[in-house]
Structure 1
Amino acid sequence: MSGNAACSSKPTQEELDIEKLLNREASAFQREVEVERIFKAFKLNPYDILDIKETATADEIKKKYRQLSLFIHPDKCSHERAPEAFDILKKAESELSDRAKREELDAVINQARIMTLKALNLPTTTAESDPKLKDLNPSFQQQLRIQSKQLLIDEEVRRRKAIKMNLANEGLEARKKDEEVAQRKRKAEDDKNWEDNREQRVDSWRNFASSQKKKKKPKTAILG
């Protein structure tokens, strides 16, 4: 009887197919949710895009990137913006893999950490594992992300202003160089015209000199 019960509890092929279909639909939904999360992430913070802590090791970052990139790969995810999300993810991993860029980013985040701890009236050396940071609302990590976001925005504004200023200066220099080239070109053309008209000027002078001689009156003889 127990054997019959065991047999009767075994899922049928139809039930297995339904379960497989539901799992597939759930997986597809989760992939789309992840794509939306990436678009909502703060684009200037690669840690936010990869949804990983700032203390993550290089290997942990690579592992997380591989997992997410496979999960939302356009070949597996039907979301219309999956290719764009995939590119955003790839750019974030690339920036964190670049030592100089990551150090620059970490410096800004460390500054945000110091500012957040000061705002909480805590020593700047307080570790994230400290019990004083456990029951905060919003959490310390959320406060850190907010402060980091503001500092990164400020940095981006300064960077864009610097680029704009450099472009303006480059434009001014380019206009100066163009004007110098134009002046040299005009001088060269003037010099060429001067040389080309040399014979004409000489002939004109000769004709003028000759006509002046003809106009001279003969001397009157003095009768003695």
Structure 2
Amino acid sequence: MGEIDNDLLLKNFFAEVSEVERDNEVLRILSCFKLNAFEFLNLPFDSSLEDVKKQYRKLSLLVHPDKCKHPQAKEAFGALAKAQQLLLEPQEREYILSQVNAAKEELLAKRKKQLKKDNASKIKSLVEEGKYEQQYQQSEEFQRQLKQKVQELLTEQEWRRRKMQMRISEEEGRLKKDEEETKEMWKRKREHEEQWEGTRENRVSSWRDFMKTGKKGKKGEIRPPKLKTEDPNKSYVQRPVKRG
């Protein structure tokens, strides 16, 4: 019953939201970094699955195309739905959080080097037994740096993924081309064999005719008379020699 009442309160609240606020939220969503699903939902990186669902419901009502008159409301609404889907999908969520952890480790390692040079900060950190570091990690400055570093890492990973996909596509294209050339070669070979087989009867018939007739002329064929040679030792035919 309490959950239903909350839904009614939420709907009543957004019914009073001005168009300017709706339009601003659409613009915020569309300006988000494409690879950071947390940014679309305007959530910190340590948000729970329940936080994701609640925030999606809240923002989706705000920019729903039936409620918001902004021309890109539908696009913003779709971006929110995709962000929620990514964060609720275990593998995708784990991937994003792995980049968040890598970014955090890199920033903290950099800060550790800075503390070695800053004795006052180092002493304060030791005295308060880590409380100082917790406050630092919760500060707006650290969260801003963390968000920026996560964006850099996600961009780098996406670039690597696209390069790998490009190489795979090129290799697939090369293999496909080789396959097509091989098919064309076998096709030409089959056509040649079929043509050769198609002329088999003619070739056999011609050979049989040749074997029957040999070098003999055809029956009824008129041949010119052979000329006698002057030299009986010569096998070729000589022209007759005129005698004075």
Provide TM-score, normalisation by structure 1: 0.78
Match of 1:183 in 2: 185
Q: Which runs of 5+ in 1 are unaligned?
A: 1-22, 216-224
- Which has the greater radius of gyration? 2
1:53 aligns with 2:44: yes
1:71 paired residue number: 62
- Determine helix, strand or coil for the equivalent of 2:44: coil
Query: Sequence identity, in percent?
Result: 36
CA distance in 2, matches of 1:129, 1:120: 10
Paired position in structure 1 for 2:161: 159
Pair 71,128 (structure 1): closer, same or farther in 2 beyond 3 Å: farther
1:128 and 1:184, CA in 2 relative to 1: closer, same or farther beyond 3 A?
Answer: farther
Task: Report the residue type matching 1:130 in the other structure.
Answer: Q
How many residues were matched structurally?
188
1:135-178 C-alpha deviation (Å, 9 max, x unpaired): 5xx61111000000000000110011111111101001111111
Q: What letter is aligned with 1:142?
A: R
Q: Name the structure 1 match of 2:232.
A: none
8 A Cα contact 2:137 2:143, kept in partner: no
- Per-residue displacement from partner, 1:72-99 (whole Å, max 9, x unpaired)? 0010011111101111111111111110
Aligned mates of 2:47, 2:157 — CA distance in 1 = 23
**Alpha-carbon contact 2:136-2:142 (below 8 Å) kept:** no
User: SS where residue 130 of structure 1 aligns?
Assistant: helix
- RMSD over aligned CA atoms reads 2.2
| Structure 2: unaligned runs, 5 residues or longer | 1-14, 116-129, 218-244
The answer to whether residue 114 in structure 2 is matched with residue 110 in structure 1 is no
Aligned residue for 1:146?
148
Tell me by how many angstroms 1:206 deviates.
2.2
Match in the other structure for 1:87: 78
Offset at residue 184 of structure 1 (A): 1.6
- The corresponding residue for 1:7 is none
Secondary structure at 2:96's aligned position in 1? Answer: helix
Kept in 1: contact 2:107–2:146 (CA 8 A): yes
1:156 maps to a residue whose letter is: E
Counterpart-to-counterpart distance in 2, 1:99 and 1:85: 23
Give the one of 97, 112, 121 matched to 1:121. Answer: 112
Which residue identity lines up with residue 191 of structure 2 in the other structure?
E
Shift of 1:134: 5.2
**Partners in 1 of 2:132 and 2:162 — Cα distance?**
33
**Alpha-carbon distance in structure 2 between the residues aligned to 1:133 and 1:181:** 63
Q: 1:140 to 1:127 in 2, by over 3 A?
A: farther
**CA pair 121-129 structure 1, distance change in 2 beyond 3 A:** closer
Q: CA separation in 2, counterparts of 1:150 and 1:189? A: 58
Measure, in 1, the Cα distance between the counterparts of 2:148 and 2:36.
11
Q: TM-score, normalised by structure 2?
A: 0.71
Q: Secondary structure at the match of 2:216?
A: helix
